[in-house]
Structure 1
Amino acid sequence: MKRNKITLAGVGLLAASAMALAGCASSGGDSDTDDSGDNGGDASAIITVNGSEPQNPLIPTNTNEVGGGKILDAMFAGLIGYAADGAVFNDVAEEITVEDPQHLTVKIREGLTFTDGEEVTADNFIQAWNYGALASNEQLSSYFFEDIEGFSYDADSELTGLEQVDDYTFTIALNKPASDFAQRLGYSAYYPLPDVAFEDIETFGENPIGNGPYMLDGEGAWQHDVGIDLVTNPDYDGPRTPANGGLSITFYASQDAAYNDLLAGELDVLDAIPDSAFETFESDLGDRAVNQPAAIFQSFTIPDRLEHFGGEEGNLRRQALSMSINREEITDVIFQGTRTPASDFTSPVIDGWSDSLAGAEVLEFNPEKAVELWAQADAISPWSGEFQIAYNADGGHQAWVDATVNSIKNTLGIEASGAPYPTFAEARALITDRTIQTAFRTGWQADYPGLYNFLGPLYATNAGSNDGDYSSEEFDSLLAEGISATDAEEANSLFQQAQEVLLRDLPALPLWYSNVVGGYSETVENVQFGWNSVPLYEQITKVG
């Protein structure tokens, strides 16, 4: 039987019938992961960076947004990690063996600990995953356990597919083939939890105890809506050893404020340039400006439950709205070349991406067709009210939302506007509990570098990030076929067919692909942004 192994250093990935790590390679001696501790900076210095208030307490299985994800990724170590280019390297895992697309064996390294001194064992993964999968716990990332035997959306049940072999080894049996499952295991939903977490999970979420490169800087380190302070974990033994003394993450109310602090030398690293500075940031920062492709997709979602957006009428209106948006003009004028109009639901930086999907013309600006489709919808039920797109005002979205609704208004002759909410957390709370009464901004920063990650979590029936509650048997079937395929080319072809269903139904309206647009001050060196737009914080050093 052929096997596929993920190994940390010195051994490349073996070719296998399973395609779990197709396109990835061992990190080996890659400076992205294992020599960050010797790059000439002040290893005791604190690096100041931007962030946003997490939507929820910091529980790995209940965090599916970027602000909380950044913090968890710094505080926890998973079985694997991802280098700057998306290549896989081992972190807690010593070896992951893929026997076939439904059976994996995981062996973790011995002697690793959480910051409270508890040893990291196989049981810490099994307990954490079972907690995340229980229906009664209502975890946002429960979808990531759907493929493991025993999972149920309807009732509490144990993940029977997880079996502990010994203290450092466990096996994973899947209920259906998932050929990229090993590649997913660096995502935060799969992090281990110490025993203390299960004594009071909510309290733990406010003061998490991890096993990663950084840890909370004592009691009160997390000041809600202000920031969070992390220091290095002296007991971390892995490939992401920090070359600095910690991270001070500020939750800015606006990207403009963050950019002004960067220019003033009050902020070391910024991963989100405000649109007001798109025209000048590269000249302002010189070779410290960052503008590179990243696995980020932007859209907005209109739930079926909203008036005028169910059934055939809703489908016609979604198509009309899509064709009334001049994406080329918005990306040129508003984003100054830092965005690219979308032609699918994924990202050009991911293997298998295609710009020639059937039905992609619905993403092109076509005012005449848009008006025609809107009239067909009116024949079913005349339009009433105002079309709005909700967004978080602290995220720098007003300019593009205003441009988008103006394009809709001018094309269709209807009232359209943005609906701002002060913070990301406030907007997400309404979206998550399904009380929001307008369309709303959505998007995806990939959890791992694979096409499936842009499709399954967002549009599969019952998926944790399926904010519009979309459900299509045809899409689900194609998705299942794709993830079962052991040949990468066949799998990507099926994922492309699944996207053609999405282009017909438009559960979300694709807008554009985002570059990571950021920069850093003169006070730091060794700044590198990863495939998913997040800086590799552990590498950054202070000058001098």
Structure 2
Amino acid sequence: MTKLFTTTALVAALALPTYAAQPAEGEKLAEDQSLSFWILDAIKSADPQLTSSRTDSDMIRQLFEGLMNEDETGAMIPGVAESHEISEDGLTYTFHLRDAKWSNGDPVTAGDFVYAWQRAVNPETASEYAWFMELMNIVNATAIVNGEKAPEELGAKAVDDKTLEVTLTKPTPYFLKTLSHSTTYPTPQKVIEEHGEAWTRAGNMVGNGAYVLKSHDLGVEAVLVKNDQYWDAENTIIDEVKFVTVNDQNTGLTRTLAGEIDWMNQLPAGQFPRLKEEHGDSVVAPPWACSYAYIFNLSDKGPEELKDLRVRQALSYAVDRDIIVDKILQGGQEPAYFWTHWAIEGFEAPEIEMAGWTQQERLEKAKALLAEAGYGPDNPLELTIQYNTSEDHKKLAIAVQQFWKAIGVNVTLNNYEWKVHIDRLNNQDFEVARYAWCGDYNEASTFLDYFRTDGYNQGKWSNAEYDKLLAEAATSENPAELYKQAEQILIGDMALAPAYHYSQPQYIEPSLRGAPLDNVMMSWYAKDMYRVAE
């Protein structure tokens, strides 16, 4: 956790260095400065306040810009806010905006941020990420989300067109890290009011990012072109970005190796060793702040069988994580016995008892627990695993089906397209579901807050002591020990069966420069990239 802004009583206006594409000495730029990026699923929403998808956010980050950006290492650097101040008590942040414009030439103002943030917490917007604004601890965010106060009472106000003042309910050490998240991006009020839900269509959309949306053939391709109104357009080298949807990873890889796609950031399971040998430095697998798990539905709509802790423990113990990472994925992933990704800044891994057992010991304990719970050959446990369309998710689901069959559990597999999968999760319309969480900012709370009673928490697990620890951690100067305790509660009650921590096995076309491989968040900005002549 960064302490830079909390070590002095009053922080004067801080202007941090910006980061832009800078060709190295001796590099010659290619004539073609386009970038084609592979995505697995169609863009669900290009609206900053409505998206909940990592894929959507990757595109939105090119079209809009928030108060802060991330550099190639993940450090926070100025975006629209060129400087900021923090009050002595740590409760008031004052941001000073640079001269920035919307793509239609209108100035970007503090009021645009106020409008967007009020829109995010307004129940009428139905933002899946309204809780994120609560997590930021902005004054009145929770009351507004709950319908108890008007959006206008949110603790964010435009002092003038160039000054945004944000008031928090309590000191929040990670607050600045939240400001590169798409939910906090400004949105153009008059455009939204003119076009309604159609405002994000090509031709209607107005953004303040380095690119504008030229065309969007849903589920096929979105094309973005350089925004000449962007404040740093003269340092933006990539002039066209394509998001190419290919629902099958193997087909995506074929198209990538054929030169149709420049960057595929999720190689098919098991392909990394061969591709690394064949393509050398073009194939890499840096750690990525995402964790993969099987979520149990513990809501009233969930199966009664999963309410029994012994059943959940048995299911988690039976998952052979070494087979998953060493035999199926083979791309630098790490077995997961806890939820938070091991590479998150400042995170200290908890001691989880089952991590020290052999897989044979886990299997024996799993069988004994199921027997205690009343399940066996004459009364087998029957469960359904839901996953979204992907050859890799299918491979893993089949593997888990076999792991659980070995302890006497009969599993049915249900496959849905991404949008349906998420809708079913949000409605608690599942038994066990494949899920992955990618951090929204580089601090452990971004993972742990998912399981708060009032967090995103699609399985509806709830634990008062867990909630209390996270509340304490939110204002602690050294929350690592509190996070460790929270992880132990989470796994002790087995709210999920963690499977693995991500790396990001990827292929990057040799002429492409600037991919943020040292940023565990993998937040990328095409404006910071370029292509060299071969």
TM-score between both structures, scaled by the size of structure 2: 0.89
Question: Alpha-carbon deviation of 1:113?
Answer: 0.8
Task: Give deviations 1:499-527, integer Å, cap 9, x for gaps.
Answer: 11111222222111111110123453444
Aligned to 1:34: 20
Indicate which of 466, 480, 486 corresponds to 1:475: 466
Q: Does residue 389 in structure 1 map to residue 385 in structure 2?
A: yes
Indicate which of 205, 209, 217 corresponds to 2:206: 209
Residue identity matched to 2:146: D
Q: Say which SS state the counterpart of residue 477 (structure 1) adopts.
A: helix
Question: Alpha-carbon deviation of 1:414?
Answer: 1.8
Change (3 A) 1:375 1:239: farther
Question: Alpha-carbon deviation of 1:480?
Answer: 0.7
CA distance in 1: counterparts of 2:178 and 2:234, whole angstroms: 18
Question: Alpha-carbon deviation of 1:37?
Answer: 6.9
User: How large is the RMSD of aligned CA atoms in angstroms?
Assistant: 2.8
Which sits farther off after the overlay, 253-262 or 98-107?
98-107
Q: Say which SS state the counterpart of residue 409 (structure 2) adopts.
A: coil
Q: Is the 8 A contact 2:516 2:522 kept in 1?
A: no
Q: Does residue 188 in structure 1 map to residue 148 in structure 2?
A: no
TM-score between both structures, scaled by the size of structure 1: 0.87
Residue identity matched to 1:212: G
Task: Give deviations 1:70-89, integer Å, cap 9, x for gaps.
Answer: 11111111111112221111
Change (3 A) 1:438 1:14: closer
Question: Alpha-carbon deviation of 1:345?
Answer: 1.2
Indicate which of 403, 423, 438 corresponds to 2:431: 438
Q: Is the 8 A contact 1:128 1:192 kept in 2?
A: yes
Structure 1, unpaired ranges of 5+: 6-12
Aligned to 2:404: 408
Change (3 A) 1:19 1:56: farther
Q: Does residue 62 in structure 1 map to residue 53 in structure 2?
A: no
CA distance in 1: counterparts of 2:20 and 2:79, whole angstroms: 10
Identity %: 23
Indicate which of 223, 244, 251 corresponds to 1:250: 244
Residue identity matched to 2:150: S
Tell me the number of residue pairs that the alignment of Structure 1 and Structure 2 aligns.
513
Residue identity matched to 1:253: N
Aligned to 1:150: 140
Residue identity matched to 2:78: N
Change (3 A) 1:497 1:198: farther
CA distance in 2: counterparts of 1:446 and 1:241, whole angstroms: 29
Map residues 279-294 of structure 1 onto 2, 5 A cutoff: 279-294=273-288
Which sits farther off after the overlay, 104-113 or 182-191?
104-113
Residue identity matched to 1:391: Y
Which sits farther off after the overlay, 269-278 or 191-200?
191-200
Aligned to 1:342: 336
Q: Is the 8 A contact 1:50 1:252 kept in 2?
A: yes
Which sits farther off after the overlay, 389-398 or 248-257?
389-398
Task: Give deviations 1:442-474, integer Å, cap 9, x for gaps.
Answer: 111111111111111x111222x3211222221
Aligned to 1:448: 441
Q: Say which SS state the counterpart of residue 514 (structure 1) adopts.
A: strand
Question: Alpha-carbon deviation of 1:431?
Answer: 1.7
Q: Is the 8 A contact 1:295 1:531 kept in 2?
A: yes
Change (3 A) 1:170 1:521: closer
Aligned to 2:160: 166
Q: Say which SS state the counterpart of residue 334 (structure 1) adopts.
A: helix
Structure 2, unpaired ranges of 5+: none
Aligned to 1:228: 222
Question: Alpha-carbon deviation of 1:110?
Answer: 3.4
Indicate which of 492, 509, 513 corresponds to 2:497: 509
Change (3 A) 1:318 1:100: farther
Change (3 A) 1:385 1:504: closer
CA distance in 1: counterparts of 2:8 and 2:447, whole angstroms: 23
Aligned to 1:331: 325
Map residues 48-127 of structure 1 onto 2, 5 A cutoff: 48-54=36-42, 56-99=44-87, 102-127=90-115
Residue identity matched to 2:520: W
